[in-house]
Chains A and B, each alone.
Chain A
Amino acid sequence: MEYGLKALGREKFWLWILLAPTLIGLLFGTAGSLLATSTLSLFKWDLIGAPAWNGIQNYIDAFTKPEFLLALKNTLVFSALYVPGTVVASLLAALLLNRKIRGVGIFRTLFFLPSITSAVAVSLIFSWLYAKDNGLLNTIITQFGGQAVNWLGTKNVMMSVVIANVWGAVGEGMVIFLAGLQAVPREYYEAATVDGGSGWARFWHITLPMISPSIFFQTLLATINAFQAFEYIYMLTRQGNGNSSVPVVVFSIYRNGWRFFSMGLASAQAMILAAFIVVLMLIYFQLEKRWVVYE
């Protein structure tokens, strides 16, 4: 099936001119760096001298180094918590804001604000919220007679980091779900109401299937973002001297490439990260065939 208008004659010329900036960006930025990274992953390169052929040694090194395995584990645990968290939280936000309430525009703006706020600034605020002795959360808890919680200590740090990240991602997800919700034809709900369907039944049998393409898309995006998450995590867990108490794969790539003079190893780790994302995407697209409803 084809949609939309076909470009004709002179329009084709302008079509390419207008697409050029994006295409050039993709070619040099995305495709170019992908090519460079995959090539470098087969070399030993310290950025200063000439790269030397290293075969698949970088990949072997990556999987035999405990620091990379720990980073991989952290990334997987983080993603397993972050992806469902983001999808559910942004769906809830969208459902709440998809009704006629006073000042809905203000609320939508407020929810979206984190998406356009500097990650570093937000993380610094979160570190203050989470601080053990002088943080806001613990001040409230101890006011009510509770025990201060070490939010960024070893036991709770992953949960605290996930909460901060989900908070930062709710706005973008909400926009996608709002668009999906508003595309659901009103007649369906009217028909269901006439038939005596309850609020829950309407959500379960109409809303959820109708916005399944949005859920699919949002899960896809959240997964990619989860695997590439860096700023919030690093800012909340950095320990001085460039170390992090929750090292994730992107952190490991950065540290090996720029601090330890091992750009080849860093490139191999980047390729491994990309491979994980590709495999997950393939699984998602298989699931899409089964679960996602297109009108």
Chain B
Amino acid sequence: MKKSIFVVLVAILLLTACGPKASSGPTEVKVMMWGAPEELAVWQSVADAFTAKNPSIKVTMDVADWDSYWDKLNTLYAANTPPDLFAMDAPLFQDWFSRGALKNLQPYIDKSTSLLDGLYPVTLQAYQTPDGYFGVPRDAQTIVLFYNKDMFDATGLAYPDDTWTLDKLREVAKQLTLKDASGNTTQWGFSADLWDMELFWSEAIWEYGGDVISADHTQTLLTEGKARDAWHFIYSMMVTDKSMPNPDESGQFGGDPFDAGVAAMTTMGHWSVPQYSTRGFKYDVAPFPSGPAGRVTSVNSAGFVIPAGAANPEQAWEFIKYVLSTDGQIQTVKLGLAVPAVKSVAESDAYLVQPDFPINQKVFTDAFAYAHMKPVFKGYDAWASAVGDPLIAVWKGEADLDTTLDQIKIAADAILAENK
């Protein structure tokens, strides 16, 4: 780095602090969210449709990639010039709420009767506080099993279905792992990101009858009792069978070997559907395989929150109302990136029949019935790093699983104590 990061920080602080204030004319609502450039186009059309109905409000969309998004948001907050509305990843909600950064939406919700009635209850849970809701879900993500049909067809194996268990997954993954003459793996049976809990390990722990974290968020439970059996199951696939690529190996394929066409199965959310659909292989989805203690998957939601210091909270709320209306939800379905948070839309043909993405969309909505909410608590990123970072060495076969889990428990609990 040629210059210190802090030079940039101060420069940004100075520049944003001198920013001009909006003049007369329609009230401007500044909306920020993470996403790809294509998403900006669709959200812009949502904003245009909203402005057509509400000519006095002009919505400005600002879409940035995940990393830059949080940097930018933090900087705007530090400069005391937050946007009027921004997208929230549910697990990070407590980090913002607990610092007094967000506006209580309950008074607005009380005035907009029945607005939240049609939402999947599990998607609302994350934004609940003793004083009411400080955020509302925009869409939802349930995790399901994706499989590459071409690879199954090539070996004549039957596609995954709702009878699958984790043991069946392991067995088929072994059969679908192929090697070349010199012993190098050319195709893995299964691939999943194991850094964050969302895509595989939280589900496995729940399905083994364990838990990730205590209900009051003071105890890390993922290393204890039955949860540890789940880790040993993952270890057997990754290190013993080698039917899953380790972090080094998946890194060579951009981090997602299923996307790169070198893994036959993965557990993933709806956000990857548009990208997978451009890859030239045939794929479909099946329910998350069940475990010894039943079938559980993870559900997470992206939501909208209004900063405590927003310049135009009323207008921002109007926009939220529009996004959660049937019209708004149908428009955002077109992105193909998520399951609508509004049940009536998610269970209509607007979502279930997507000509661009002809996969079994119902698998994602059926999953709500057996999904656990991805845990939401203060200090999430630091805690997740304390868990995910040390395990990388285990997956590469360089560290002992049990010793590492014992150390993780201590480090992760220390972070929970700091964030009480």
Tell me the A residues contacting B by CB distance below 8 Å: 28-30, 32-34, 36-37, 46-49, 66-67, 131-135, 142, 148, 150, 152-154, 228-231, 239-243, 245, 250, 253-255, 257-261, 263, 267, 270
Contact = CB atoms under 8 A, between A and B. Distances in A.
Given A33-B4, A263-B78, 17 more contacts: A28-B10, A36-B6, A46-B99, A48-B77, A48-B100, A132-B252, A134-B252, A154-B398, A228-B4, A241-B195, A241-B196, A243-B195, A253-B5, A258-B74, A259-B70, A259-B381, A270-B4
- Closest 4 A/B residue pairs (Cβ): A230-B1, A33-B10, A33-B6, A260-B382
B327 to A, nearest CB: 34
A48 B396 CA distance: 38
A131 B253 CA distance: 10
A18 B37 CA distance: 42
Contact of A47 (B6, B77, B392, B393): B77
Interface stretch (B19-27, B156-164, B243-251, B279-287): B243-251
Contacts of B255: 240
Q: Is the interface of B mostly helix, strand, loop or mixed?
A: helix
A135 B184 CA distance: 14
A243 B388 contact: yes
B310 to A, nearest CB: 14
B71 A258 contact: yes
B11 A258 contact: no
B68 to A, nearest CB: 10
B215 interface: no
A242 to B, nearest CB: 7
B14 interface: yes
A125 to B, nearest CB: 14
A210 B14 CA distance: 46
Contact of A239 (B11, B78, B379, B392): B392
B385 A132 contact: no
B41 interface: no
Contact of A32 (B10, B70, B74, B249): B10
Interface in B1-45: 1-7, 9-11, 14
B393 A154 contact: yes
B1 A29 contact: no
Contacts of A133: 184, 249, 252
Interface in B246-291: 247-249, 251-252, 255
A49 B5 CA distance: 21
Contacts of A230: 1
B353 interface: no
Nearest to B71: A258
B389 interface: yes
Q: Among B1, B9, B70, find the residue whose CB has the most chain A CB atoms closer than 10 A.
A: B1
5 contacts: A37-B4, A48-B78, A49-B100, A239-B251, A260-B382
A242 B389 contact: no
B14 A250 contact: no
